[in-house]
Every structure is written in C-alpha cells, then in structure tokens.
Structure 1
Amino acid sequence: MKTKISNIGSIVTWSKSFNKVVSQKELELLIIDDRIVDISSNIEVEVDVEISAENSIITPGFIDSHTHPIFFGNRSKEYAERLGGKDYNLISKEGGGILSTVKSLREVDYETLYEVSEQRINNFLKFGTTTIEAKSGYGLDLENEIKMLNVIKDLNKSSELEILPTFLGAHSIPLEYKKNPEDYVNILCDEMLPEIAQKNLAIFCDVFCEDGYFSYDMSKKILNRAKDLGLKTRLHADEFVDSGGSKLAAESSSLSADHLMKASDSGLREMADKGVVATLLPGTTFFLGKKEFADYKNIKSHGIDVAMATDYNPGTCTIQSLPFIMNLGMINYKMDINEAFISITANAAKSLGMEKDLGVIEKGFQADLLFWDIESLEEVPYWISENKIIGIMKKGKVIKNLSLVKD
C-alpha cells in the first residue's frame, strides 16, 4: 500500500542529523505499507491513498514507556486516605497498595480482565499515544502473571495501539512469601521466568528494586536470570531511598532505570557510562501529592538521555495523557518544550530499544504520526483539557478521522 501525505503545515521531529528538534515546512511524505520511504517537497508517484493533512502540524506518535494498565478494580479509597495525610508505605503494610490490586486480579477471570483492560488500552490513543510498554505484576504467581501477559498479548492483536509486554513478577513480595522472600525469588528465577520466556510472553523483565520490595542482591539475581533467558531488562529504581537501583541498571546494561528520585550521583555516572535511559514519572509524584520530584537537571548534567512516561496504574497514577505529562515535566523539572517533546518520542523509543523504528519522522522509520490542529509545538502541553489531535496514523494506517483521506 502506497500512501502520500500532502498539504502539511510542518513536520516537527527530533533530528539525529541536526541533534535537535526541527520544524520543516513545504514537505510531503510517502509511506509504503508501514514505513516512511520518502520525505521531500514534491512527491510525484502513483499512490493507492492520498491524505491531505489540512495544513496541520505532524509529529511522531507518542510512546508511553512505563505503564501498568492490566488490573481489576480501583484504589480510590487509598487515594483519599493519602490526600488525608496517610503514608503510602503504611497503606501497603496494612494490606493496601500493590497487594490489594493483586487480590482483585487473582479473583477475576480472564474474559472480564480482558474486557476492562481493553477500554483502558484504547483510551491511550485518544491522547496521541501510539505505543506503550505494558507490565504484568499484579498476579505474583505463575498462573496469574501468565493471565495478565496473555491479556496483553491478545490486546496487542486486537487494538490499534502497539503494546510491548514486560514481565514484572518482581513487583512486590506476595503475602504468602512475606516471611520467606528468598523463596519467592527462587520461584521467579526457576519457574516463572523460564516458562514466560519459553512462551514468548514478554520482551522485557522489570524489577522493583527498593527497600521493602526487592533488595539489590535479589534484583540482580532476577535480572541476570532474565538476561540468560533472552529478555531485555529495566528497573524501578531509587524511588524512596537510594537502593542501588541506578548502579544495578548500569551493571546489568538495562535499557532504562525508572523513578530515580533518590538516585546517587555515582549511580547516575554509571548509568551515563552504560547508556541507560532515565525514565522519569512526574505524574506519580503529582498524583501522590508529593513535593519532591526527580532532579531532572542533575540527571541531565550527567549526560543521560531522559524519557518521561505516565506510570499509569490503579494506585499511584491514573493519568493516561502524555501531553499532560509534558506539562508536568515543564512545570516541575523546568524542561523546555523540546526536552519535554523528546522525552516522549525519541528518548522514550530508546528506553525500549526501539530507537531505530519509533519516535522520529525519518526515512525507514515506522509511520506512526499525529496530525495536530495547532500552530506550534508549545500548544501540545498547553491545552490541558482540550484535545487538538485531528488525525492519528499507526503503522501507515489512519485510525482516527478518516475524513483526511481523499476519495
């Protein structure tokens, strides 16, 4: 299928050649199947479909590189308790937090879990997200982790959204192993990871490396086993204290270390040396009502590429809008518009090992495009409650506003 896009107001993308965000006018796009094959001022070829961009700005589709969208029920009561001053860790110790979602997920059947998750998955597209990373981690046993990963697998087949699966069996120690957490780590390494790898249910393995969850040594054992089985690795790291997660991300050559509110300078230096992306999650800090955000300027000063993501989950962040995450990054990290934009496009792609396919508009890249009724990039985070997207293309196929397509 050959598709031509004309009448483009401008193409806004990060450019590897110029090492900056560029805005290019008077260009047309030629797409064959799911790939961009030409970007030039006057494309004179016979095509199957021609699309008028109606003078809109075109950007790459957004990439949400850290989400937990497969769950059942909600934790709105905890939300109110936190706003009333109750500490998140105390709520967890009382049986709330992650483990309350685990209880709900273990009780729900596959069909119901698929149905409620499908609604959430499709909601990402409304805000311009065309690719997400989606984690398991609310099953915490083989049967229910596989149930979650099968839901992700089947949603990836049925949805227009591209979903990259992550096994997060090491999200928390389940109640039945609280007195013997090492036994659960052994089950993760000896039973769960081998079966999930054999069934090709995950691309990545993630670990919550944090005091009260998985120690540095536990996390290292799990990541090493995952790598031996061919999975790529990433970490929840240094959210509450300096747990050594940033150092472990570097030692394990993980693609990304996420959160990083308490990361040490030595850990950040090691991340920079190994090219580990820092994925910051300002929506979580905002949703929890916390005042201390990750130190973006310090992280960036180490030469680390920074991505941002929603951390969409039922307990600590129900935000699905990456434009709103851009807004939070600009307010709380003092990012400029280009830094915020790169963090949810090119750098987000790098955090997933997809930097040769996603996140920019260049020849050879996947045709994931957003069409915006705006005059400048600054309007993307500016219109918090108004959606300015008039068209979405995923893998060369228009999936929103078919009126753009000429007869």
Structure 2
Amino acid sequence: MRTLVVNSGEIAHMSHGDTAKPLIGKKMGDKDLNIYSEGLGILVEDGVILSITDSEELISEYAPSWDGNSEMIGNMNIIDAKGGAIIPGFVDSHTHLIWGGDRSNEMALRQRGLSYSEISKLGGGISRTVETTRSRSIQELVDLGVQRASNALRLGTTTMEAKSGYGLSTESELKLLEATERVNQVSACDIHATWLGAHDVPKHTTKQEYIEELIGKQLPMVVQQGIAEWADVFCEPGWFTIDDTIEIITASKNMGLGSRIHADEFVDSGGLGITAELGSISADHVAKSDDDSRAKAHDSGVMQTFLPGTQYVLGIDEFPPMKKCVENSWAFSIATDFNPNCNTISMPFVGSIATHRCGIDPITALAASTRNPSTTLKNNKNKNYGVISENNSASFNILHSKKVESWCQSPGMNPISKTLANGIIVKHN
C-alpha cells in the first residue's frame, strides 16, 4: 500500500550523519543540519519511506490526476499536509505502560511534605500498585495497555519501551510481560519490553530472598518466555544497592538480556557510574549524577535518559541538567516515565518541560525525543526509528503548525493533526 504526503511545511528529518548514533552537542539543535524547507512531499510504501522530494514532482509522477481534494487515487492514499510541519514519530524509551489501580490520593500526601520514600513506607507507592495490578486478569491488563498505547499514539508516539515491575512475583511479572506483548501485537505503536522484576522488594519477604528468586527463578523464566529485551533495576538507596544491581544485571547479561537501569533519581549513589562497566544501553533518571559519571557513561555508549515529568509531579525545582549535556556533548534522551505517579504519556508535554524548565531549545528537545532514544531500541525490520529518511520506517507526525518548533510549545493541547506509524495512517480528531 502506498501513501503520498504532499505540501509539507518544514520537515525535521533529524538524519544528519550516522543515524545509528545519537546527535550530540550543538548538532542536536542545528536547523541547517536537521530541517528541510517547506514544499516537499514524502512517498511511502509498505511502511517504508521511498522518496522525499518536491511535492509537485511526486504528484506529477505518482498522482497526475489528483484534484487537490481526494484522499485516494486507486490504491494510494494521499495526505495533503496543507503546510503543516512534519517531525519524526516520538520514541518514548522509558514507560511503565501496564499496571492497575489509582494513586491520585498521593498528591495530597506530597503537599503535606511527605517524600516518595515516606509515602512508600506508609503503604503507598510501588507496593500499592503491585496489590491492585496482581488482582487484575491478563485481559484487563491488556485492555489498559491498549488504551494507553492508543493515547500515546494520538500524541505522536510511534515507538515505546514498556517495563514490567508492578508484579514483583514470578507469576505476575510474566503476566505483565505477556500483556505487553499482546498490546504490541494489536497496536500500531511499536512496543519493546523490559523486565523490571527488581523494582521493589515485595511484602513478606527479605531483599536477599527476593534477589535469589529474581536470579534463580524469575530471570530464567523471563528469558524462556522470550518477550523482554532488557533487564532493569531500581538502583536507589532504600530499594536496590549498587552491589544488588551489579549482581542482578550481570546474571541477566549472562543469560542474553541487555540492560537499562533506574539510577540517581533522588541522590547520587553511583548508579550512573556502574552502567558503563555493566554495558547498559541506557541509564534513566540520573538527575543527581556527577559530571565524571556523565562523561564516563557517554564515552562508554550509555544513553542518559532524563525524565523531567518526575520532577514536575514531585514538585522538585531542580530539573535534569540537559543544557550541561549539550555544552559537554554528552548524549541524552528524554522520556515520559509514564507510571501511576507520573501519569502522563505525552511526549509534547515532556518536551515542553524540557524547553521551559531545562533550558534547551525545541529542536534539541526533538532530537532527544526521537533520534537519540531510537539508538537504544532495536528495529526488527532493520530500519531506524526517530528519523525521516529514505529507506527508513515511515513513522512521523504532521503538525497543525508550519513550524517544527511548535511541537512542544502548547502544553495541554495536541500539536499533531495526523500520524503515520510504520505507514499506518492515524487521524486525530
């Protein structure tokens, strides 16, 4: 099936240089390197971009009888972008997509001055969500995941990573991963699964007993199941230590899983520093990490993934040091951290926080939301996510505005008029 998109505004192709590598430093926000001028068209076939060239040339060759209004000619879809800018589909590389329950009551606790850790000790936080998630059937979890993936797609996300972690038992973690795969099978959004059994220690067991279960029982069954691509650990004081993380990730690596690690969200415990030694693809949160660890991570190919929505919902004034990463040419991405506490799955909203609170420009934020996170995810079709270029995945968004920068400048509103996800047209009302 072919689709022809014509009459574009600016196109943020983000494809400068080797697209298997992230953009860094000033190249992230360089409009000359990353943006085509208006008036181009994009020809798509079977989910792949065949050509990007002048709209009139494409119309003349592939749709000479087009009347300027029809949406179909023969077996070809035609989309008139009407001057709307085009950007890559967002790549949300850190989500907790599937869980049950509601923790909106915790806002009042935070306003009373309780910390994330204190709320957890009172029975809230992760352990509360674990209880409600375990009680849901797999079909209920799939239904929740499908709705959330649909919401993400409506907001322009065409690729995402999704973690387990709200089961905290072998049976429940496997159920969450199975639900994730079922959502992936029916969603136009590409979903990549991560096993986060080490999210917290379940009630009525010791941490050492649970680590033994994670490594001796849960991990082998996760690998046998064949859904998860990575292992993850919540490496924070009060949850899992550096030594715990090394033990769990090393065992996972020995069984063929890659790793992505939660680290240094609340304090600098050295979590980012060990990711280089462990060969992790990504270290997430890392708001409190020191500069030496950031440099070491970059030199080792570890992506720093910032989650500014977390600081936003926790009322923390110190946001991730994105501007410093640009100044030092350290690779970084941004993601939603969608979860019961940070309950947003909108990359445009997270991009707005990045520009308004973290000091980076909209084009840099776009690179951190598309191409850069795409380098941490595998595409089974050997096509790159996060860029708009010939012979790559046809996953992109058409904006209401003619200007690329508008993608993150209207929090609370959807800047996107249409989305193509691997060539599948998604219309937004």
| TM-score category, normalised to shorter length | over 0.9
Structure 1, residues 247-267: CA drift from partner, whole Å, max 9, x if none?
Answer: 111111211111112112221
Equivalents in 2 of 1:328, 1:83: separation in Å? 21
> In the alignment, which of 154, 174, 178 is matched to residue 146 of structure 1?
174
SS in 2 for 1:14: coil
Any idea what the Cα deviations from partners look like across 1:191-227, whole Å, max 9, x if unmatched? 1111111111211111111111111111111111222
**1:77-226 pair list within 5 angstroms:** 77-177=105-205, 180-226=206-252
Report sequence identity in percent: 37
Structure-1 separation of matches of 2:226 and 2:323: 38
- Contact 2:10/2:403, CA 8 A, preserved across alignment: no
The aligned counterpart of 1:326 is: 351
Give TM-score, length-normalised by structure 1: 0.93
2:36 aligned with 1:23: yes
Correspondent of 2:281 among 255, 258, 263:
255
Q: Secondary structure at the match of 2:105?
A: helix
- TM-score when normalising by structure 2: 0.89
What's the CA shift for 1:339? 1.0
C-alpha distance in 2 between matches for 1:157 and 1:73: 24
Structure 1 spans left out of the alignment, 5+ residues: 403-407
Residue 279 of structure 1: aligned partner: 305
The residue type equivalent to 2:361 in the other structure is: D
| Equivalent residue letter for 1:223 | I
Q: Deviations over 1:316-362 (max 9, x none)?
A: x1111111111101122101111111111111212335595100101
* Counterpart for residue 401 of structure 2: 374
Q: How many residues align?
A: 399
Q: Tell me how far 1:49 sits from its aligned partner.
A: 0.9
**Alpha-carbon distance in structure 2 between the residues aligned to 1:391 and 1:104:** 35
Q: Contact between 1:268 and 1:302, CA under 8 Å: does it hold in 2?
A: no
Q: Is the 8 A contact 1:279 1:351 kept in 2?
A: no
| Relative contact order higher in (CA < 8 Å, ≥ 6 apart) | 2
Aligned match of 1:344 in 362, 369, 385?
369
Q: How has the CA–CA distance of structure 1 residues 401 and 114 changed in structure 2, closer, same or farther, with 3 Å as cutoff?
A: closer
**Counterpart secondary structure, 1:378:** helix
CA distance in 2, matches of 1:118, 1:153: 11
CA distance in 2 between counterparts of 1:60 and 1:244 reads 34
- One-letter amino acid of the counterpart of residue 384, structure 2: D
Bigger CA drift: 29-38 or 140-149? 29-38
For 1:401 and 1:387, the matched residues in 2 are separated by 9
Matched letter for residue 173 of structure 1: V
Q: Answer yes or no: is the 8 Å Cα contact 2:93–2:373 preserved in 1.
A: yes
- Please state whether the residue corresponding to 1:342 is helix, strand or coil: helix
Counterpart residue number, 2:420: 393
Q: Which residue of 72, 77, 96 maps to 1:68?
A: 96
1:378, CA displacement in angstroms? 2.2
Shift in alpha-carbon separation, 1:208–1:302, aligned structure 2, 3 A: farther
Equivalent position to 2:83, from 52, 55, 79: 55
Instruction: Provide the alpha-carbon RMSD of the alignment.
Output: 1.9
